[in-house]
Structure 1
Amino acid sequence: MIPTWLHLLSIVAVATGLLCAVLIAADEWRDPQHMWIMNVVWPASALYAGPLALWGYRRWGKLASHRAMQEAERRNEPMPSMASPFAVKVGKGATHCGSGCALGDLCAEWIAFAIPTVAVWFGWHSLFAEKMFAVWILDYILAFGFGIAFQYFTIKPMRGLSPAEGLWQAVKADTLSLTAWQIGMYGFMAIAHFWIFAGLFGAEVEVASFEFWFAMQIAMLCGFMTAYPVNWWLVKRGIKEAM
């Protein structure tokens, strides 16, 4: 049985993530990001990182807004975000990948919950006794789709590439990063499913619960940690754009 303290903590964590996402989106409505895809990345990041994403947006994200860009152009200066420390640029690149993972996982989990047959299509009962493993396949497919799309709309305009070239470069830039992110996320969700919820509390947590999404928030932060060194390497090698 899930203890009351964990249930309440889960509600607070999920609500805080939603609130931070709304606050960021409202600020972007008034002063959009210079690169439009970042208007999606920052709120999506807040869904799992909450106050951390809000702080990062206020501290570093605002440096890449339309207003900041216009003021820099007026003073004939480079865009303020370009002066960010390399570690911050790598972090933004990782969250860029993570936002695609977050949206893909969000869609996949609810689709499989609403239509259980979908999990059967991906191997539940035939390949996997656990539904979670089958859903992870759908998770990865949708996360990959969102991640490549996000990367495409970053790399193509920054490098002035053709659509085909932009798509290929997006695949090169995001495949390793996204896979590293999913490994971290899957790792924690397995720990949460088998050890924390089932082992410690003797409970099975469904998608339609605050506890599941609280665990997913932590899992996404684990994904950030496994994806960060990969993004460092990708940016250093010039495979992925510094942001």
Structure 2
Amino acid sequence: MIMQPTWLLMLSWATLFVGLVSAVVVVVDDLVGGYRQPVKVMELIWPVTALYFGPAAIATYNKWGKPQSPRWRERHGNPPKRSRRAAVVIATCHCSTHCTLGTIIATVTIFGVGSEIGGHTLWHEYIGDYVGAVFVGVLFRYSAEAHTGGRRVWTAIRTFARTDLLTVSVFEFALLIWLTLVHHLVFPEAPKPSNPVFWLIVQIGLIIGFFAALPATSWLIHRGVKVEPRGTPQ
């Protein structure tokens, strides 16, 4: 087992702490402060985004998320109209949440059961991350179908494939390239999830995936494939 330097361990713990605290800040503002989101799924998307973007996610939430709440509107009136850039960022946050939750689920599952290929969990992690992201994305769409009077699995799958699959795939591709480079160039013996360095690597990969996915989301919005939801769950 390769020991990481103290400064790296401290940095990893610090980024984990900042991410968790940032997520809690958003949740408390939403649930305790009363700034509930009209699009209920955003009440999950904003704190999940804060897990890896930290204070930057809080600032984005305060600028584009919080003003959408009925409580904010009661106090300040209608919020400024969102720009196209805001729509692209928020839509990317939506798909990035699929990938983030998928990564967490896959990581816990794979390392929990000790699944390996050729003595390594890397390929299983790649497959698990992608499948997990797709599963979470379809689950989100499936949940949205309930509000239109029908829980139709195939409708959820088709909607996800049409509106989210490209962004999720680009995000996952960038994330997996990052994980591969780190594995081969920095940590030949990959840190385990019990090591905070593992989650620092994942946090950086999620940020890379987010920025890589922005052009795909912009293109889908430009084509009219993705439409920002307003007032109803997505």
Q: TM-score, structure 2 length as denominator? A: 0.86
Residue 156 of structure 1 contacts residue 166 of structure 1 at CA under 8 Å; is this kept in 2? no
Which of 198, 201, 204 is the matching residue for 1:215?
201
Aligned to 2:232: none
User: For residues 107 and 97 of structure 1, what CA distance do their matches in structure 2 show?
Assistant: 16
Q: TM-score, structure 1 length as denominator? A: 0.83
Q: How does 1:104-143 map to 2 (within 5 A)?
A: 104-116=102-114, 119-120=115-116, 124-125=117-118, 130-143=120-133
User: For residues 212 and 181 of structure 1, what CA distance do their matches in structure 2 show?
Assistant: 19
Aligned to 1:48: 52
Task: Please report how far the alpha carbon of residue 156 of structure 1 lies from its aligned counterpart in structure 2 after TM superposition.
Answer: 8.2
Query: What is the CA RMSD across the aligned residues, in angstroms?
Result: 2.3
Residue 184 of structure 1 contacts residue 225 of structure 1 at CA under 8 Å; is this kept in 2? no
Task: Please report how far the alpha carbon of residue 174 of structure 1 lies from its aligned counterpart in structure 2 after TM superposition.
Answer: 0.6
Unaligned runs of 5+ in 1: none
Aligned to 1:62: 66
Task: Please report how far the alpha carbon of residue 111 of structure 1 lies from its aligned counterpart in structure 2 after TM superposition.
Answer: 1.1
Unaligned runs of 5+ in 2: 230-234
The answer on 1:3 being equivalent to 2:8 is no
The answer on 1:190 being equivalent to 2:176 is no
The answer on 1:37 being equivalent to 2:14 is no
- Paired residues in the alignment total 223
Bigger proportion of residues as helix: 1
Task: Please report how far the alpha carbon of residue 207 of structure 1 lies from its aligned counterpart in structure 2 after TM superposition.
Answer: 1.3
Q: Percent identity?
A: 27
Task: Please report how far the alpha carbon of residue 163 of structure 1 lies from its aligned counterpart in structure 2 after TM superposition.
Answer: 4.7
Aligned to 2:139: 149
Structure 1 pair 166/143, CA: closer, same or farther in 2 (3 Å)?
Answer: closer
Structure 1 pair 238/167, CA: closer, same or farther in 2 (3 Å)?
Answer: same
Residue 2 of structure 1 contacts residue 197 of structure 1 at CA under 8 Å; is this kept in 2? no
Letter in 2 for 1:3: P
